[in-house]
Amino acid sequence: MGDKVFMQGNEAFAEAAIRSGCKYFFGYPITPSSEIPEYYAKKAPSEGLVFVQAETEVSAFNMVAGVAATGKRGMTATSGPGYSLGCEAMSYMSAAGLPGVIVDCMRPGPADGEILGSQGDYNQLTKGGGHGDYNTIVLAPYSVQEYADFAPLSFELAEKYRNPVVVASDGTIAKMMENVELPERIEHPGRFDWACDGMNGRAQHNDITTCGDGPEQWERFNLDLQAKYNAIKENEQRWEEIDTEDADIIMVAFGSLARVCLDTIKIARENGMKVGLIRPITIWPFPEKAFEKYEGTDTKFFVTELNAGQMVDDVKLAVNDRKRVEFYGRLGGITPTPVELYEKLCELYK
Amino acid sequence: MSIVYKRPEVFTDEYMKYCGGCGHGIINRLIGEIIEEENLTDKTVIIWPIGCSVYADKYFKTDSICALHGRAPAVGTGVKRSCEDDLVIVYQGDGDMVSEGMAEIMHAGIRGEKFTVIFVNNSIYGMTGGQMAPTTLMDQYSTTSPYGRKAENSGNPVNMAEIIAGLEGCYYSERVTVNSPANIRKTKAAIKKAFKYQMEGNGLSFVEILSPCPTGWKMKPVQAIKWIDDVVTEQFPLGVFKDCGQEEK
């Protein structure tokens, strides 16, 4: 690993992305993501980066699609309202096999909403948002360190599967300052044989299109896409388990709220409750494998989110026994305290 | 016996799907001829739009990307910014550019993106089935202006070549048409100049081409060609609206 610094989440991600060979940034300012474009704009001359402030998120996402089509590493950063506009490009990039990276610093919706940390975009990020049968890999960091670590990982996964990757932070992770060990500088792997960067000596010409040519062709195209998503589901489910071995109740939380749950577990255990935590790291693919061993047991699941209950549906599907799944969420940009969550646990289970 | 006219080598063997009397095939061919004459096949990336030319990626042996409706200038921005030495061609129709993609083309011009835009204006939505576009003429029939376009409901036609020429980021803007051999030659000269300016590293080069759409206009091809001379050029006059290369000489 590289140097250790005390850094804000968004800036740490931007620095880590630059070190990961992401030379191209296209973005539109929106709270709480703006430190990422600001960092790129500031570093552009000295680091030889390309920074373009786009007219809309629609354009920013499509510019990322353009640079990804040439096989170079490019990204944008936004928040929920901007991601809504980018959804048509997400559908396009996934279908066209374009490995762009998008940061969504989540804030509470719907509509204009508020600007504090929230998880209101879970459904939009994991269920599509754009049109058609497509999926994007979504990584949800719970610390500044993990946020920075996801910069190189997101590009690796995007290029491995030729699919866009979303890093879903939130207002809390984005703005928080922590000690972080930044990644080593790496060089971009070079030209890809599928990319549209001008043949420039390549033997064949390349063609990137998402326009169907009759229903049979388009069904075959879609089946190939589904094979890609199934491979991702099989290989890339990521999660962390904390104190689950003897737990009667397992909390399920991701991102910044999972940090709060760490203290809730401690408090609960000090008070004689056997509570653990499953923390999804990929929210798509949802880590359903983490729940397989609890089939037919009495283990209870307590899902908490900074929304009205979005991931809880995936937990219910994974547990396959919704009577064992409870939910508690806060809205508006409010993060519950560890004690508040502990009191909720007591109310539900004592 | 010498060959004086043949299919450009840069074309694939794919059958072109354009309607009879459509201008896209001529324009595609001109682009192909110039790419070949200038030895640019190896350096070309064409961004295609959604519309009648959506399958044109299949006709060229160059790198091709089909963008979403209206977004070709944004995709082109990503491509050109990362491949500065390539010839990047953004090909758009009027429905694609002037409706859905107005923000993208305007801001590409405002930023002075260093690619070439080939804007095929047939004043109607061709592929979607003859609906009104922002470029549809006053009183023109379309399936969504069945009583003719009226200003009080739909405003007036949009003259893109003039608008783009008004932006400082634009280096070259010209309107041409492909309704006669002489005009086809002028169109070829305009596209060739635009590519030259791009390869010299200049800002946005924009060629608007008035193109017949007999199917959408519900006319015979010969009528459509005449209609461009008699009616379309009244709203969209041919000419050079900006040529910084010329001004520098």
Cβ-Cβ contacts under 8 Å for B184 (sequence gap 6 or more):
B26, B30, B178
- CB distance from B60 to chain A under 8 Å? yes
Which one, of A162, A161, A160, A140, lies nearest residue A256 by Cα? A140
- Whether A1 has a pLDDT exceeding 60, the answer reads no
- Are A310 and A123 in contact, with CB atoms under 8 Å apart? yes
Q: What is the mean pLDDT of residues A5-32?
A: 98
- Whether B249 has a pLDDT exceeding 80, the answer reads no
pLDDT number for residue A345: 98
pLDDT number for residue A189: 73
Q: Which of residues 52-111 of A touch B (CB under 8 A)?
A: 52, 54-56, 58-60, 62-70, 72, 74, 88-89, 92
- DSSP type of residue B125: B
Cα dist. A317→A6, A127, A321 in Å?
Answer: 40, 14, 8
Q: Which letter, b or e, does each residue of B6-23 get, where b requires 16 or more Cβ atoms within 10 Å of its Cβ?
A: eebebbeeeeebbeebbb
Q: Is residue A139 domain-resident?
A: yes
- From CA A211, how far away is CA A218, in angstroms rounded? 8
- From CA B3, how far away is CA A256, in angstroms rounded? 71
Q: Is residue A128 domain-resident?
A: yes
Q: Which of residues 189-228 of A touch B (CB under 8 A)?
A: 196-201, 205-211, 213
Residue A316 sits at φ, ψ, to 5 deg, of: -60, -40
Residues A13 and A159 in one domain: yes
**Taking all residues of chain B, what is their mean pLDDT, rounded to a whole number?**
97
Structural domains present in chain B: 24-248 (3.40.50.970)
Residues A131 and A246 in one domain: no
Cβ contact A208–B66 (<8 Å)? yes
Residues A109 and A148 in one domain: yes
Q: Is residue A135 domain-resident?
A: yes
CB atoms within 10 A of CB A200: 12
Cα dist. B193→B53, B131, B132 in Å?
Answer: 22, 33, 31
- From CA A161, how far away is CA B126, in angstroms rounded? 36
From chain B, the residues in CB contact with A93 under 8 A are: none
Q: What is the mean pLDDT of residues A197-209?
A: 97
Report the number of distinct structural domains present in chain A: 2
Q: What is the mean pLDDT of residues B7-13?
A: 95
Cβ contact A70–B78 (<8 Å)? yes
- Whether B247 has a pLDDT exceeding 80, the answer reads no
Residues A140 and A243 in one domain: no
pTM of the model: 0.97
Residues A244 and A295 in one domain: yes
From chain A, the residues in CB contact with B78 under 8 A are: 24, 26, 62-70, 74
Q: Is residue A207 domain-resident?
A: no
Structural domain for A178, as ranges: 4-200+224-235
- Whether A350 has a pLDDT exceeding 90, the answer reads no
Residues A10 and A153 in one domain: yes
Q: Indicate the residue type of A57.
A: E
Interface TM-score (ipTM) > 0.90: yes
Residues A16 and A113 in one domain: yes
| Whole-angstrom Cα Rg for chain B | 17
Q: Which letter, b or e, does each residue of A216-247 get, where b requires 16 or more Cβ atoms within 10 Å of its Cβ?
A: eeeeebeeebeebbeebbeebbbbbebbbeeb
pLDDT number for residue A79: 97
Residues A115 and A143 in one domain: yes
- CB distance from B50 to chain A under 8 Å? yes
Residue from the list A62, A198, A206 with its beta carbon closest to the beta carbon of B71: A62
- Are B89 and B115 in contact, with CB atoms under 8 Å apart? yes
Q: Which of residues 95-134 of B touch A (CB under 8 A)?
A: 103-104, 106-107, 111
